[in-house]
Amino acid sequence: MNFEFPFQQLPAVMQGPRIERRRILIGGSSFWGTMQDDGQLRLDDGRVVDAEAACYLPPVNPSKIIAVHISYSSRSFETRNKNKPTETPTYFTKPPTSLNGHKGQILKPADCKYLNYEGEYAVVIGKTCRNVTPDEAWDFIEGFCPALDMGLQDFRDTDQGSMLRVKGADSLLPIGPGLVRGVNLFEQTLRTYVNGLVVQEAHIGDETIWGPHYVIADLARHITLVPGDVILMGTPCHSRSVDPGQVVECEITGIGRVSGTVVAIPAPRAAALGVGHAPTDSPEVRRVALGFDERVPEHFKENLRHSRGG
């Protein structure tokens, strides 16, 4: 773990009071508001609305979205098949068109089988950032959001590792409901739920391999991060496939809980013409989509079966 925990002095973005900003759509206009202690959302214009009933937009507007492949020890163990993890984090990207809001529909094309969840937290950049040290990096963070880095693992075989087709399709990044600062991230626990049952869990302080400050300093070696950019911080073990009708959620305690419902859409027209890469059901695809069970806590697997009514 590349950070001292507990900190001598907590970074400003993790010092209280907790502030949660959400953005909602009301009849064609978007409005920002701040969550109140009573669970209601006070819009900036003075209206108080029922946060449960609101229609959410992503609380971010990134020019780029960068994701860490592996940042949890349990996921590192799982995907590396007991080999040692990489010595530094590695990254891929998702296009802005993959953004989705809280309570979003996560689209599963009819010709795909393996739409996998990955519960994560996102870090949102607040100031232009380039060539910084990990200690300095905290100052460039505006806040944190729960996120679901969904992936169409049917395309695992293609794109030579960039995962553009796996992770880049429209709707595959539900994020929100809010953008939160004033919470000590390293005291929080990440949990992913399918139909309300826990299928991933990790204590962020205990299991994080590289903190966001390290990742920002690494990325900003050569890439300028600009306000609004989003960094997805990786998922713990037990990423698995879900089907239309299932509800997937990622909760970061103290930060929030984002949800999405899997919805079927038609196969693309180009598919019927044989144009482009077809979803594939290869051993490599199945290896990643269905996962290694070794060392995955048994109740995660059971919960996932139950979520399917199995």
Least separation, in Å, of the C-beta of 214 and a copy of itself?
7
Least separation, in Å, of the C-beta of 38 and a copy of itself?
18
Q: Which is nearer to a copy of itself, 227 or 297 (CB)?
A: 227
* Size of the residue set binding a copy of itself (CB under 8 A): 88
Least separation, in Å, of the C-beta of 129 and a copy of itself?
8
134 touches 265 (CB < 8 A):
no
| Interaction mask 65-94, a copy of itself, x per CB under 8 A | -x--x----------------xxxxxxxx-
The answer to the question of residue 195 lying near a copy of itself (CB under 8 A) is: no
| Interaction mask 248-267, a copy of itself, x per CB under 8 A | ------------xx---xxx
d(CA 112, CA 106): 13
Letter string b/e over residues 219-243, b meaning 16 or more CB atoms within 10 A of that residue's CB: bbeeeebeebbbbbbbbbbbbbbbe
Residue of 1, 73, 109, 306 that binds a copy of itself (CB under 8 A): 109
Question: In degrees, to the nearest 5, what angle opens at C-alpha 258 toward C-alphas 253 and 263?
Answer: 150
Least separation, in Å, of the C-beta of 195 and a copy of itself?
17
Residue of 10, 164, 247, 290 that binds a copy of itself (CB under 8 A): 164
- Options 117-125, 195-203, 220-228, 295-303: segment touching a copy of itself (CB under 8 A): 220-228
Q: Which is nearer to a copy of itself, 117 or 214 (CB)?
A: 214
43 touches 205 (CB < 8 A):
no
- Can you tell me which residue has the tokens 């163990």? 77
Residue of 78, 218, 249, 251 that binds a copy of itself (CB under 8 A): 218
82 touches 219 (CB < 8 A):
no
User: Residue type for 106, please?
Assistant: I
Least separation, in Å, of the C-beta of 88 and a copy of itself?
4
The answer to the question of residue 163 lying near a copy of itself (CB under 8 A) is: yes
The answer to the question of residue 95 lying near a copy of itself (CB under 8 A) is: yes
Binders in 18-47 for a copy of itself, by CB under 8 A: 21, 25-29, 31-32, 44-47
